[in-house]
Structures are given as C-alpha cells and as structure tokens.
Structure 1
Amino acid sequence: MMVTLRMHDLVAVPDMSPLDIDVAVGATVALIARPRPATAVARVVAGLAAPVTGRILVGGRDVTDLPPLRRRIGYVPAGGALLPHLTVGRNISYGQRRRRWVRDVAEGWAAALVDRLELAPTLGLRPHLLSEAQRFRVALARAMACLPEVLVVDLPAPVDGVFLPDLLQRTAPPDAPGVTVLLCSAEEEVLTGVTERVPLVDDVPPGPVQPAARA
C-alpha cells in the first residue's frame, strides 16, 4: 500500500492515547474523536502546534518539525477561519501568494476550483455575506488551491448542504489518484460516505463507530 500520510505514536495533547494511522494515496480516513482532541490532532498534523510525542510523515518525508508552509498539507479548520477583511477571491488565493512554487505550477487551478465548487458569484463578497455551506467551500478551495499532498479537514458538526465525499471528488487535481484526506469528526452525518474510520482510544463518542480497514 502506498501511504501519503503516516502518524506514528502521535500524541497531540497530554493524556491522549498515541495514534498510529496510515492514509493511503487518494484515500479518506476519519479520526473519530470529540471536538477538542480532534482539533488538537488536526492542528498538530497541519503544523500549527507541536506534538507532545510522535512523528508525522507525508509521502515518506518527516514533516514533524517543519513549518506549515513546507509540509504540503492543506487545512480546513473548524468554522473555515476565513479572513473577514478579504473577499472570497482573495481568501482563496491567500495561500498561493505565500507559496511561490505553487504560483509556478498551479496557474488556473484556483479558477478551476472556483468553477467546480460553484463559487464564481461570491468572489467579490466578504465571508459574512455567505451561507455556512459557501464558507466551507471557500475554505476548501483555499486549502486545495495550494495543491497539497494531504488535506486535513476539522469538521466537528455537520454543515447543511455539505456532503464531503462529493466536494473532495470535485477538488481532486486532474491526472491525480484523488486527494489524501484526514477527516476529524465524531458526527455520523459528517462521516456519511467515509468507510475507513479510526476511533481515538479513550475518547470514543457515544453511538456506533465503524472501525477502519487497517492494512
């Protein structure tokens, strides 16, 4: 199995059980955890916080100690975290401006994402004028505009009008096997269509959880 994202003995916050997760190329794996530890793991993988212990590898590269811009990981934080003073168009292109190599290889990709996610009518609007589903799609477009190897989605609650597998299919770059995704959530409505699931030990929420198929 070709693995894009590997977490080895990863502890994001004290007293959390270590995580060992392998996400294959183009696969989506859900980490089943309550919002607080799920967000902690998402932030550590994205590079916004340091782990207590453990390693993170992307495509065989150890990125544990690298800053976010060098990890090749896209991140959709809970709530989207769009910049309120920027228009939709500038929010989407924000990450590209900070990654010079992307501008050389991804010309036109942001425009394709706008078209695929039906965001063209919103490009001149500020985030507060958007619906919750539109804000999520903008955050997804911003993350994917940088052509990441891995996408981390922190989605603690369902968003009306958002079916993640469909959106991921729309945002897959051309001639690629699909986006490698770590989805952090415990809500069954969010997890619909995601069959590979790994519960965070000692933090399994109430209700049935389908275990991931482990390689």
Structure 2
Amino acid sequence: MREPVRVLVVDDDPLVRAALAMVLGGAVDLELVGEATDGDEVPAAVAASAPDVVLMDIRMPRTDGLTATELLQATPDAPEVIVLTTFDADDQVLRALRAGASGFLLKDTPPVAILEAVRRVAAGEPMLSPTVTRQLIAHVSAVRPAGPAEDRQTRARTRLDLLSDREREVALAVGRGLSNAQIGAELYLSVATVKAHVSRLLVKLDVANRVQIALLTHDADLV
C-alpha cells in the first residue's frame, strides 16, 4: 500500500463531498485527489487523478454508483471502490458488491470509521463484517423469488467445487470474515501461505476481491 492513499470522492451532494473532504483532510496518510458529481464523470476523474480508493455514492441522477462500479472493474488496474448509501439494506449495495466493490459505508458513519475503512480497503483487507454481509443478503433474498436464489446457490456451489479441500477451507474462513492472521492460526498455516491461497481463490473463482469470495460462500449457504 502506497502512502498517502489517494482517494476520489463521487457524490452528487456538495455537502457530502465537503464533509468527506474535511474528514480525509485530517489524515496525513490519506489524500483527496479529486471529486466527481455523478457516475458518468468517474472514468475521466479516475484517469486524471489515479486514485487508490473511490468513495462512490450509490444513488446519483444520471449514472448510479452500481453502473460506475461495473465500468471501473472492467478496466485494468481498477481502484478499490467503497459504495456510500443512506440505507444499510439497499439491494443496490449488494449488487455493487457483486460487481466488485470492496465494501460499503453508511453516510452517517463516524469519521474515524471512514478513515479506517479507506485504509483497510487500500491494503486489500475485507471491510464487511460477516454480520453485516448476512443481514444484507438476507434482506435482499427476502424480497426476491425463490427460484433465482436457488439457482444462485447451485451456481455458487458448482464454482466452489473447483477448489481443493484446503482452498475451500480458506474460502469458508474468508466468508466468516476472518483476517489472514486469524485464518493462519485456525488452519495452522503461515500468513504468507494464506495470502497465496487467497490469491489462487481470486483466480479460480473468477472474483475481484475478498468480499466477493465471502458473497460466494454465502450464496452457497455454507457459512
């Protein structure tokens, strides 16, 4: 992780942008390198500022944060994305996580927690707790027909069947929200070995980050 961590803020509300700029300005290891007012401005803003992390509003008038996240993840060396929302059970948040976002924050999150989230995501660490992930998935599943959910479970289990026994253990531990150090202690592996397993999981499961590994294990109903 390079320092300072470069952050781009994307939100159509000038007050939110100003508040986030003030929060980021108080951290010596973080740098606000740009702002955008809508999702359609994101590609140009990212190209101009080369951020490590994008704080992305989920609801914007022209191009929403979901679409902007999907477009970003399709580009080489895409920055990490944290979606911002006023709702903690927003189905668009779950869609953004599936599209490759590294986590989400409520807009009323305390400043210290926002700074810590940016640091963790920039370092490649998971940001969602297992409890938050389960609540989000449960909310969305409750308002969807059973058929698609069952299909999603079958697809998730088929993908996880590609893993070795050890890789599967690591994937399930990631799904429970454990850090690399915690996984190593539980499975009697070095942290370096855990990192190697996680890297292989990203390739074999064709996912962008640890959050998507966790979502896949939840889709499979294994954690």
Structure with larger RCO (C-alpha < 8 A, sep 6+): 1
| Fold shared, TM-score > 0.5 on shorter chain | no
TM-score, normalised by the number of residues in structure 2: 0.32
Higher helix share: 2
